[in-house]
C-alpha cells in the first residue's frame, strides 16, 4: 500500500463524512492523525482533531469526541486562533454537559463566550450557540433563574443572526424559567 499524506487522508475523511459514511470517515481521520509527520503543521493537526471529534460525537462516542475537541483547543490556543479555539471549547463543553460533567463544561463554555464577545464583528450565531450551552448547563444544575439572562441574550443573538429555531428554543426556556 502506498503512503498517503495526512492531508490527503484528512480530505478523504471529509468527503466520506459529507457522504454519510461516518465509520469510514472516522477511520480516515484516525489514519490522518497517525500519518502526521514533522512537516504537518499544527493547523492541520487541530483540524483533524475537530473532525475526528465531530464524527465520534455522531457515532455516540462522547469520551473520544470530548478528548479530540480538547486536543484541538490546545492546538488552537498554541497558535493563537481564537475563533477556532472558541468553537472547539464550545463543543467540548456541550459534550461534557451531555455527560453531566458540569465542572468540566463550565470553564470551557465561559472561555468560549468570552472569546466570542471579544470578536469584531460580533459572531452572533456562534455567541448564541455558546450562550445556549451555558444556559442548558445552568438548567441541568438546577439553576433555571440564573439561566434566564443567558436565554434572553441567546434569543437576541439568534434574532440578529436570523435563526428562528434558536429564537423559539430560547423563548420556550425563558417561559419555563419564568415559571420556575
Q: Write down the pLDDT at residue 141.
A: 94
Out of 33-42, 50-59, 133-142, least confident range: 33-42
User: Residue 26's closest CA among 3, 60, 1, 71?
Assistant: 60
Q: Alpha-carbon distance 126 to 83, whole Å? A: 9
Residue 177 has pLDDT above 90, yes or no: no
Burial of 39 (0-12, 13-18, 19+ CB in 10 A): exposed
Supply the pTM of this predicted model.
0.93
The per-residue pLDDT for range 12-32, each reduced to its tens digit, is 999 999 999 999 999 999 999
Residue 39 has pLDDT above 90, yes or no: no
| Residue 180 pLDDT grade (very low, low, confident, very high; cuts 50, 70, 90) | very low
Radius of gyration of the chain (CA): 18
User: Residue 21's closest CA among 32, 35, 5, 29?
Assistant: 29
What is the average per-residue pLDDT within 144-168? 97
Tell me 40's DSSP state. Answer: S
Structural domains of the chain, with CATH: 1-80 (1.25.40.10), 81-180 (1.25.40.10)
Q: Alpha-carbon distance 116 to 121, whole Å? A: 10
DSSP per residue, 70-121 = HHHHHHHHHTT-HHHHHHHHHHHHHHHHHTT-HHHHHHHHHHHHHHHHHSSS
Grid coordinates representing 131? Answer: 450562550
Q: Which residue, chain included where needed, has cell 484528512? A: 10
Amino acid at each position: 500500500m502506498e503512503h498517503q499524506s495526512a492531508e490527503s487522508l484528512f480530505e478523504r475523511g471529509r468527503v466520506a463524512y459529507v457522504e454519510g459514511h461516518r465509520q469510514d470517515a472516522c477511520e480516515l481521520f484516525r489514519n490522518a492523525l497517525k500519518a502526521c509527520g514533522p512537516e504537518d503543521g499544527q493547523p492541520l493537526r487541530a483540524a483533524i482533531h475537530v473532525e475526528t471529534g465531530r464524527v465520534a460525537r455522531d457515532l455516540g462516542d462522547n469520551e473520544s469526541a470530548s478528548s479530540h475537541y480538547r486536543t484541538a483547543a490546545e492546538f488552537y490556543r498554541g497558535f493563537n486562533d481564537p475563533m477556532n479555539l472558541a468553537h472547539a471549547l464550545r463543543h467540548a463543553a456541550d459534550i461534557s454537559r451531555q455527560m453531566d460533567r458540569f465542572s468540566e463544561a463550565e470553564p470551557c463554555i465561559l472561555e468560549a463566550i468570552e472569546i466570542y464577545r471579544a470578536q469584531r464583528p460580533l459572531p452572533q450565531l456562534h455567541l448564541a450557540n455558546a450562550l445556549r450551552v451555558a444556559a442548558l448547563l445552568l438548567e441541568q444544575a438546577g439553576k433555571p433563574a440564573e439561566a434566564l439572562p443567558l436565554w434572553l441574550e441567546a434569543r437576541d443573538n439568534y434574532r440578529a443572526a436570523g435563526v428562528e429555531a434558536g429564537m423559539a428554543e430560547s423563548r420556550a426556556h425563558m417561559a419555563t424559567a419564568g415559571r420556575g
